[in-house]
Structure 1
């Protein structure tokens, strides 16, 4: 893995950050995986897809990610970037590192969305925070394409997101937001 030596700035979604607040969950923690699998034989795929969609609609994080990948890859169904984007965003908002990595690359490449390096960088940094080592390298590649102003905006947004997160953590523990962490 390539590391540039610059400080790792942690982050989240730029344009979707209002949805983070409505998620009502700790957006930095990754819940346990699900049992949704879409590698069924062709004749069983429709039923497996229906079960996976139901699980995703019921909030199964791994099912959301797997549906996003299923529609993104388009190997067993026609590629559908809008459905992929929907499910990957859902999983990303809840901290799935692989979904965040894929979503960041979609923003970078303009796949299903307008290309946006600032948003790509932020989402990729979030994926790195949640454990995707590949996202660190991807964020470095995106940063090479960004202007100084774009990097400044992304850093400012990331800083604000994590200040808010720190305050949320401290409030949950009944401590002052200005108290030092243990």
Structure 2
């Protein structure tokens, strides 16, 4: 966490994503969905496809945020546009509803 934080402070999207993942899984820290959302968002805004995908999942599940399929669909779309195939699959699934 210490080294990821140092890199994240330099706007390293991969480090920001990794911190979000640690908070999401509760590894190296207590599980904290609000912190996971915060760090995934920082990475997602820099076009990190995995962070965008995880934000979509968290919006679908209502983890750390109120469940919102519209926001989930938007994050899945961005993830898809950045090369995440599972993001594409989830985006298209939500588009069919």
TM-score by length of 1: 0.51
Structure with bigger helix share is: 2
> Which 5+ residue runs of structure 1 have no aligned equivalent?
1-48, 146-182
**More relative contact order, 1 or 2 (CA 8 Å, 6+ apart):** 1
Equivalent-residue separation in structure 2 for 1:64 and 1:120 (angstroms): 20
Q: Which portions of structure 1, spanning 4 or more consecutive aligned residues, are displaced by more than 3 angstroms? A: none
Equivalent-residue separation in structure 2 for 1:57 and 1:82 (angstroms): 18
Match of 2:69 in 1: 117
Query: SS of the counterpart of 1:84?
Result: helix
Listed as ranges, the matches of 1:39-118 within 5 Å are: 49-118=1-70
What root-mean-square deviation, in Å, do the aligned CA atoms of Structure 1 and Structure 2 show? 1.3
Q: Does 1:126 align with 2:78?
A: yes
Aligned residues: 97
Cα 1:143–1:109 shift into 2, 3 Å: farther
Q: Is the 1:100–1:124 contact (alpha carbons within 8 Å) kept by the matching residues of 2?
A: yes
Query: SS of the counterpart of 2:83?
Result: coil
**How far off is 1:134 after superposition?**
0.6
Equivalent-residue separation in structure 1 for 2:9 and 2:34 (angstroms): 16
> What are the Cα deviations for residues 93-150 of structure 1, in whole angstroms up to 9, with x where unaligned?
01000000000111111110011111110110010000000101111333344xxxxx
Equivalent-residue separation in structure 2 for 1:51 and 1:86 (angstroms): 18
Equivalent-residue separation in structure 2 for 1:87 and 1:132 (angstroms): 19
> Which residue among 82, 88, 91 is the counterpart of 1:136?
88
| Higher radius of gyration, 1 or 2 | 1
